[in-house]
Amino acid sequence: MLSNRKIQTKCVEEVTINEEYYEVPQATADIINTAKQNGGRIFAVGTTVTRCLESAYSREHNCLKVSSGWTALYIHPGYQLKVVDCLLTNLHQPKTTHMVLTGQFAGVDLLYLFKKKELTPSTDLDSDLRLEDDEALALMDDFFTTFNVDRGNFSITTYYPPEPPLKHLLNPFRKNDIPQVPDFTIGMLIASARAGRWLYD
């Protein structure tokens, strides 16, 4: 039965998850316990493996035990991992239990799981969407090609200027030494797409 579920609530702790059957044989338990005793790190490949290993942990003996059965273990940020140190997994859809599980490892802010960023003409690609300069440039290259917009004098450095040398030594009161970055908004893309050419710079 699939363990991944769409989350319908804002409180992840209230979610129930489907059970999965698992088995941990002696050989697996021996290898993992030896690795942990020697200071090794355990990499789980997949969310099911992660739930399996965590479910087979024995708190009494502080080790992985040979076991089999059904687990409804729900791993989310705040859960204390006992066996697994790292997770290798596929891409997961937002607002799902698998995404929440990966958040335990990645330290994902739960706001990103449950709140979609509303895009408006005033949404800034830098300060609001947190796009890095290379990401913004790739986006703009696709924008000009997809919407057949003449890029004109567009330059990504206008919106992502290089940091001045020894920026950390600049006097914060000398504002002229700090580049003034213009807004870079969704509205600018909309207006330029309608005009067929980049209207700024």
What does the pLDDT look like over 86-141, one tens digit per residue?
Answer: 888 776 666 676 677 776 666 655 444 444 566 788 988 888 877 888 888 988 99
Q: Is the pLDDT of residue 171 over 60?
A: no
Q: Which residue in 77, 88, 83 sits closest to 46, CA to CA?
A: 88
> Taking 50 as the threshold, does the pLDDT of residue 43 lie above it?
yes
- Structure token pair of residue 74: 């729900």
Angstrom distance (rounded) from CA 64 to CA 58: 6
User: If residue 86 lies in a helix (H) or strand (E), which one and from where to where?
Assistant: strand 86-88
pLDDT digits (tens, 9 = 90+) for 50-78: 889 999 999 899 999 999 999 988 887 77
**What domains appear along the chain, each with residue ranges and CATH number?**
12-114 (3.40.1780.10), 133-195 (no CATH)
Quick one: average pLDDT of 41-55? 90
CB burial readout 105-132, b (16+ within 10 A) else e:
beeeebeebeeeeeeeeebbbbebbebe
Quote the pLDDT of residue 111.
41
Mention every residue, 6+ apart, whose C-beta is less than 8 A from residue 189.
143
